[in-house]
Amino acid sequence: MIFPVKRTCLAAVLSLVVLSAEAQKVRRDHQPTLAVPFAASDLTLDGQLSESCYRDSVPVESVWVAGKPDRKPPRTRAWLFWNDERLLCAFDCEDAGLVAAPKSASESDVDGQDRVELFLWSGRERDAYYCVEIGALGALHDYRAPFYRQFDSAWALDGLRYAVARTATGYSVEAEIPRAAMEQMGFRPKPRAKLRGGLFRADFSASDPKAEPAWITWVDARESKPDFHVAASFGELVPAPESATPAESTFHITETETQLKLASDTLEAAVNKRGYVTGIAAGSFLDKKTGFRDAGYGLDIVDWIMEPGSDALYRQLLKGDLPYDFNNAYHGKRAKRSIEGPQICTQARQLDPWVIRGPDYVAVKMRYQYHLAAPGKATGSIWDQTLLFPDGKRYFISRDKITSVNASDAMFFRLDMPGHIKHQRGDTFSEVYLSYHGRIPAREFFGDFPPDEKFHYLRGANPLPRRFIRAYHLRDPKTGRDGPWLAGMTLDPAAVYEGWCHQRGYVCLIEEIGGRPIRPGESFDAAFIVGYFDSIAEMEKVYDEHAGHSDLEVDSSGWRLVKRGR
């Protein structure tokens, strides 16, 4: 029986699982690490999450819907704490309609209920895994099992305590596992004693409770079919010393129906959820040191997936904005055609960005699945974007990635980097700097010219530059006062297939990323630094500190730039 959600204190489902080492081999490049804070005092297990530790600690909130990378998960936050006596965990879950059933004679009834899950693994091959499930109305199912899913329901976890409360947006969970039970399962929590773990959730639909739930995971195992009982779904848990004090980014984030707004002591920025989307919203990127803002249509703005060649033979069959004209002043002479679309920035019209909070940074992630394709091509390629804002910096780090469902001899995606420049005869900028060309005065952009006439970059035709930096020197249009440089820096120069810097009513700064053979299922990406600098020398210094990277990995415990071989 399915019960409606009431505004009462409910016990949601908590699963504790410890997995055998016979599970899949871990892909280390996708394994996040979570520092587990020391809890000096015990929690009041009432499900309210009202203790100061929840405010003072950074939750895990970067989660995925397993097997459905284009789907935004409902908001899910999780915490882990430890001390000498117990392991504590908590979840705060957005859920408009809780699917729940009362306690019954069958322990397996909890399988069809909304639940949160904590998986743990000691790392010893001989260990079984253990599971405790607590139903939304108090049903209990606990069992022991050797790998793989060989359940022994006669096993019980001694001393487990838990509570769940209904919240304004869903439900919250608190649970504790006593030290004696942890030791029986092979764990001896102590500072820096690493173990493996996962944080998961099953979210059923109240309108269709028999349908497959959304399987929500902390670690994106990148499996086509969700399965949390594999090692690829586990991250690394590291108990922190008692003296370690959790920190949180100084960024303040506000959210409306149409935007995410971020503010710190050094920057302000907004990310559009509606309208003209992807990247940073036009005019929202504020340098608090100088008071200047970006002068264009946005930063790191993303378009189509393309390849060289002409669509002339099948243009009449193309849908939406896929037709691509060339041999004109806007696009130049080089023949190109769309593989998938639409142009995300103008045609997606809505994205659902989500935020990751770290100790000294915040990040925003976005994702979109293309739904138009040229004849003979499939739809469904996925664009991913990460925008990372480190505390105290005047720049952000970004990564754009395409995971393709198509093959191409030279696939690329197009983006604005750093962004276009709106101006009237150079009133908003005094010069442009291209690392592969040099400094260009604003007067060069007083009249329109096509992208391949001058200031053009094409990999192979031009020497590969040591750095790939494109920047414009801001100017106050009212006073003529020079401001900072606003730069877009592609950290791996070889990632850039083509670069434009031409005038078409505004200065158009487009980059095309990729331009190499791609097979279905493969990905390609590029990483960037976009922000304010007082000089070209300062740009170069920051560039050299991060040069050569093409990917960015981030979760609530940390971030890192990654170099990928081609």
Helix or strand holding residue 235 (H, E):
strand 235-239
Mapped onto helix, strand or coil, the DSSP state of residue 327 is coil
Residue 442 has pLDDT above 60, yes or no: yes
Q: pLDDT tens digits, residue range 190-233?
A: 887 888 888 899 899 999 988 999 999 988 766 667 888 777 78
Higher-pLDDT residue of 531 and 225 is: 531
Distance CA 230, CA 213 (A): 19
118-122, 160-164, 253-257, 520-524 — which is least confidently predicted?
Answer: 118-122
Residue 280 has pLDDT above 90, yes or no: yes
Q: Which among 377, 382, 354 is positioned nearest to 67, based on CA atoms? A: 382
First to last CA, the chain: 54
User: Contact, 448 vs 504, CB < 8 A?
Assistant: yes
Neighbours of 537 (CB within 10 A): 9
Task: From residue 172, give the alpha-carbon distance in Å to each of 175, 203, 217, 465.
Answer: 10, 13, 17, 53
Surface-to-core class of residue 178, CB atoms within 10 Å of its CB (0-12 exposed, 13-18 middle, 19+ buried): middle
What does the pLDDT average to over 442-466? Answer: 97
Residue 14 has pLDDT above 50, yes or no: no
Question: What's the confidence (pLDDT) of residue 242?
Answer: 74
Q: Which among 481, 528, 536 is positioned nearest to 509, based on CA atoms? A: 528
What does the pLDDT average to over 415-424? Answer: 98
Q: Which among 445, 532, 529, 527 is positioned nearest to 494, based on CA atoms? A: 527
Q: pLDDT tens digits, residue range 131-143?
A: 778 777 777 888 7
pLDDT bracket for residue 427 (50, 70, 90) = very high
Residue 325 has pLDDT above 70, yes or no: yes
What does the pLDDT average to over 343-361? Answer: 91
pLDDT bracket for residue 244 (50, 70, 90) = low
HSE (CB half, 13 Å, CA atoms) of 237? 31
- Which DSSP string do the residues of 113-151 spell out, in sequence order? S-EEEEEEE---TT--EEEEEE-TBS-EEEEEE-TTT--
- Rg of the chain over Cα atoms, rounded to whole angstroms, equals 26
Does the pTM of the predicted model rise above 0.85?
no
What does the pLDDT average to over 288-299? Answer: 98
Which CATH number describes the domain made up of 13-239? 2.60.40.1190
In whole numbers, what is the pLDDT of the chain averaged over residues?
88
Question: What's the confidence (pLDDT) of residue 2?
Answer: 28
Question: What's the confidence (pLDDT) of residue 247?
Answer: 60
Higher-pLDDT residue of 403 and 69 is: 403
Residue 565 has pLDDT above 90, yes or no: no
CATH 2.70.98 assigned to domain 252-560? The reply is: yes
User: Contact, 309 vs 275, CB < 8 A?
Assistant: no
Distance CA 324, CA 315 (A): 8
Question: What's the confidence (pLDDT) of residue 494?
Answer: 98
What is the domain partition of the chain in residue ranges? 13-239, 252-560
Distance CA 344, CA 278 (A): 7
Residue 57, amino acid: S
Distance CA 61, CA 78 (A): 7
Percent of the chain exceeding pLDDT 70 equals 92
Query: Dihedral of the CA atoms 520, 521, 526, 531 (nearest 10)?
Result: 110
Strand pairing category for 115-121 and 13-18: parallel
Question: What's the confidence (pLDDT) of residue 193?
Answer: 81
pLDDT bracket for residue 5 (50, 70, 90) = very low
User: Contact, 536 vs 485, CB < 8 A?
Assistant: yes
pLDDT bracket for residue 24 (50, 70, 90) = very low
105: left (phi over 0), alpha (psi -120 to 50) or beta: alpha
Question: What's the confidence (pLDDT) of residue 501?
Answer: 98
Q: Which pair of structure tokens corresponds to residue 94? A: 């957005």
CB contact burial 409-420 (16+ within 10 A = b; e otherwise): ebbbbbbbbbbb
What does the pLDDT average to over 345-373? Answer: 92
Residue with the two structure tokens 């397996």? 108
What does the pLDDT average to over 18-22? Answer: 41
What does the pLDDT average to over 49-70? Answer: 83
Question: What's the confidence (pLDDT) of residue 25?
Answer: 36
Residue 520 has pLDDT above 90, yes or no: yes
What does the pLDDT average to over 249-270? Answer: 93
User: Contact, 342 vs 305, CB < 8 A?
Assistant: no
Residue 30 has pLDDT above 90, yes or no: no
CB contact burial 209-218 (16+ within 10 A = b; e otherwise): beeebbbbbb
Residue 18 has pLDDT above 70, yes or no: no
